[in-house]
Amino acid sequence: MDLVWLWIPATLAAAAAQTARNAMQRSLTQTIGTMGATQVRFLFGLPFAIVFLVLVGFATGERIPSPGPGFWGFALMGALTQIGATALMLAAMRARSFSVITAYVKTEPMQVAVFGLVFLGDPLTFALALAVLIGTGGVLAMSWRPGMLTEGGLQPILLGLAAVALFGLSAIGFRGAVLSLAEGSFLMRATTTLVVGLTMQSLVLGLYLALADRTALIASLKVWRSSAKAGFMGALASQCWFIGFALTSAANVRTLALVEVIMAQFVSRRIFSQNVTRQELAGMAAIVIAVTILLAFEPVGD
């Protein structure tokens, strides 16, 4: 199989790992707060990312690639916007159901397609546009509830939509960073970008919490077992996302990642005891159609 198609299993693995990590972080917000749970994916994920980099270097015999023009700017853009997006998403999840907020966040492919065209010159084909529209429609159908604009107030919706925009910019930033590395295989470039991004994020959030919310930082260290599990799943998800970004456009990756909404529905039912309705099943069907269009007609590779 052509290696370029590895973005498909990598994206599916990323979606599964991210669903697990989001559920873990959502649970942690109840004990260590939103910012404490936010930094868990970064601070506790960094050691695992370093292990990934060592293993990749050992397996391939490659050295860490040299940064090309724009690498640091793209990496910083991805790192900072991902911090903001994660904090906003977790804040929204405290007020609304896990699956509904996950659905909001998964309207991201629309922004990613536009951002990718503007910042990286990634093509926006008819097949991709159609898949994005159908998939986004399915996501909205799954999340819509009578009175949802007034139930619980507008704040969770606004937080979710703001998280969407930042997650979109984060995807573009990290893909730009991967592409800006001057040498190395897609696996080495993806893993190097992961370590750089998590290092930036750990430093920024660690400094912020040390100065502004030391209680949350100490609390996350006290529940280190739960934090380490969430950190590992976060690092694993990011590793797989970055592999996808190294092989195809961020819009392709994020559109296929809509399957995470279906995974979140399973988690909501099994863990948070939230039922799945016919409307949600119809939305899932639309997502499956969108993914089918993407895989059948959208070209892959850089």
Report percent pLDDT > 70 for the chain.
86
Q: What is the pLDDT of residue 299?
A: 59
Contact criterion met (CB below 8 Å) for 116 and 250? yes
pLDDT of 177 over the 90 cut? yes
Residue 110 lies in a domain: yes
Q: Mean pLDDT, to the nearest integer, of 35-49?
A: 90
How high is the mean pLDDT of the chain? 85
**Which run of H or of E encompasses 44?**
none
What pLDDT sits at residue 13?
94
pLDDT of 240 above 50: yes
Q: What is the pLDDT of residue 254?
A: 87
Residues constituting the chain: 302
Distance CA(139)–CA(124), nearest Å, equals 20
pTM metric for this prediction? 0.84
The count of structural domains within the chain is: 1
Q: Is the pLDDT of residue 275 over 80?
A: no
Residue 144 belongs to a domain: yes
Please indicate, yes or no, if residue 86 is contained in any of the structural domains.
Answer: yes
User: Which residues have C-beta within 8 Å of that of residue 9, sequence separation ≥ 6?
Assistant: none
pLDDT bucket at 61, cuts 50 / 70 / 90 = very high
- Per-residue pLDDT, averaged over 214-218, amounts to 87
At 139-155, the pLDDT tens digits run 777 767 666 555 555 67
Alpha helices in the chain (DSSP H): 7-43, 46-60, 71-95, 98-105, 108-115, 126-143, 155-180, 186-212, 214-222, 224-247, 250-256, 259-270, 278-297
Report the Cα 212 to chain-centroid distance in Å.
26
Q: Which domain, by its residues, includes 178?
A: 3-60+67-297
For residue 85, is it within any domain? yes
Angle, to 10 degrees, between the axis of helix 126-143 and the axis of helix 108-115? 150
What's the Cα-to-Cα distance from 52 to each of 103, 240, 296, rounded to whole Å?
Answer: 30, 11, 32
Instruction: For residue 30, name the pLDDT band (cuts at 50, 70, 90).
Output: confident
| Residue 148, token pair as written in the block | 């949802």
Tell me: pLDDT of 198 over 80. Answer: yes
In a domain, 302, yes or no: no
| CB of 242 closer than 8 Å to CB of 72 | no
What is the C-alpha separation between 275 and 98, in angstroms, rounded? 12
Residue 120 in any domain: the answer is yes
Which residue(s) pair with 67 in the sheet?
A: 181
Which one, of 94, 113, 111, 93, lies nearest residue 103 by Cα? Answer: 93
pLDDT score of 242? 95
Least confidently predicted of 122-131, 177-186, 258-267: 258-267
Separation between Cα atoms, residue 27 and residue 48, nearest integer Å: 21
Look at 37 and 190; give whichever has higher pLDDT: 190
Confidence of residue 269 (pLDDT cuts 50, 70, 90): low
Q: Does a structural domain hold residue 184? A: yes
What per-residue confidence (pLDDT) applies to 148? 56
